Amino acid sequence: MADHATSSTVDLRLRILAVSLEPSLALARIMALPLDDLQQLVTDGYFRELRLRGQSLRQISRRMGKSLRTVATLSKRSQEKGPLLDESRRLGWQRAVIRATSQQACTVDELRALGGVEDHRVEEELEQMVASGLLEVEDERYRVAVVHVSFAREETDARLESLRHFLTTVAHVVYRRFFRPEPNAEAFARVLSFSAEPQTLSALRARYYEALRDSVIETDSEASDEAPQGSVVFAAVTTPTDLAWSGR
């Protein structure tokens, strides 16, 4: 009985991890990211997570089940290249397309001349870039979507850090609810799905977020120095219905 319970616990944790990965896999699907590139992102990210926890290369080798030589290669790549998959041929071509179409609208033939992917796949790749929101097409000419080139570097970095903070809090909730529940620890999670006009949803978000923010500021000012840290995730979104999220 104990072995069965232990096995069930391990299996449950793996299922929790699989469910947690689904949003990232959906975004990878929207980007049409090749499996090799996705696996490299996971490998590099896992290595950095372990390294940030202070583990040595030998400890990481044991944790990842990889040779010390492989882990040393990961360490070198992490230090030299960062997280952008610079060696990915397909992503390199997408970057070239973004640069070209940010200067002027381009035809398929003009973008085919950039090289980097097989000629017969160019139109399919461009269609995917349009579907994922990277490009816009009008009169058979492609131009980069304005939303993707209007962010200054500083603003983009700040938005990514905000995303990291948001998702870290989500991870904390999952950990508290499934991995380490404690009687006196808060780990509440609910999603309310409903119909609403965009302006009504915006007004609802503004009204309740402002009230919550004011309450949080007041609570923080009244807390003792020994009080534990807490986080509240507040989100409001109009469910996307474009091609990326709709059924085929």
pLDDT at 81 (0 to 100) = 57
pLDDT at 132 (0 to 100) = 81
Beta bridge partners, 137, equal: 142
Q: What is the mean pLDDT of each run of 10 residues along the chain (248 residues)?
A: 66 92 92 89 91 91 94 85 62 87 90 85 88 87 75 72 90 92 89 93 94 93 91 90 74
pLDDT at 211 (0 to 100) = 94
pLDDT at 63 (0 to 100) = 93
| DSSP state for residue 175 in the 8-state scheme | I
pLDDT at 142 (0 to 100) = 94
pLDDT at 244 (0 to 100) = 79
Q: What DSSP assignment string belongs to 177-241? A: III---TTS------------HHHHHHHHHHHHHHHHHHHHHHHHHS-TTPPP--------PPP-
pLDDT at 10 (0 to 100) = 84
**Among the residues of the chain, which ranges form H helices?**
2-31, 35-52, 57-64, 68-81, 89-103, 108-112, 122-131, 153-174, 198-222
pLDDT at 106 (0 to 100) = 93
